[in-house]
Amino acid sequence: MNDKNIFRWILALSGVVFVLIAVLESKLIAPVAEANIPAFAYKLPALNAVLNGSCFVLLWVSLYFIKQKNIAIHKRINLIVFGLSALFIVSYVLFHYFVPETLYPKGAPARGFYLILLLSHILLSAIVLPMVLLSFYHGLKNNVEKHRKLVRFTFPIWLYVTLTGVVVYFMISPYYNFPA
């Protein structure tokens, strides 16, 4: 498969993920009755924060190893980050499928900051997914120049998305109304 076809597949996959999340967020799919929500679903936001935080740290570790010219460890760490990110997407989709949305309270003093942070997190998440997939493709194919050019933009955005994912979790978690 050539680069053009890979790019099309990456855009298609990114589009499917984006549409799936948009459909879940819009609640076009009928919500699950509260009595039918599995207990594990309430643990998913904390798991997502751990996954995001782990990716944030591992991305920095990956940068350290590539600066040391240790390509083998750099690749291994990036594969771990890729796997954790894929697990995050599955966990995120499952949570939003099962659990009703928690809104940040209207009168809360940090609401404006939270909404701006959340919006930037969501928009950059949608943008960074195809960039990550393309970066991984070129990295795995040893297209070093293309990989480097992409990663210059992908890395800081991905870092921001992983860090803001953790911050958003800590800001919204006090307002979760989950059963004990």
177 residue type, one letter? N
Instruction: Give the pLDDT band (50/70/90) at residue 170.
Output: very high
Q: Which helix (H) or strand (E) holds 13?
A: helix 3-26
Nearest alpha carbon to residue 9 among 138, 154, 143, 133: 133
The pLDDT value given to residue 75:
95
3-175 in CATH: which number?
1.20.120
Q: Which pair of tokens denotes residue 167?
A: 């911050």
Which stretches within 37-179 are classed as H helix?
44-67, 71-98, 111-140, 144-172
- 38-97 pLDDT, tens digit per residue, is 999 999 999 999 999 999 999 999 999 999 999 999 999 999 999 999 999 999 989 988
pTM (two decimals): 0.90
Close Cβ partners of 73 (under 8 Å, ≥ 6 residues apart): 65
The pLDDT value given to residue 15:
87
Q: Angle at CA 125, nearest 5°, toward 119 and 127? A: 105
Domain parsing of the chain, residue ranges: 3-175
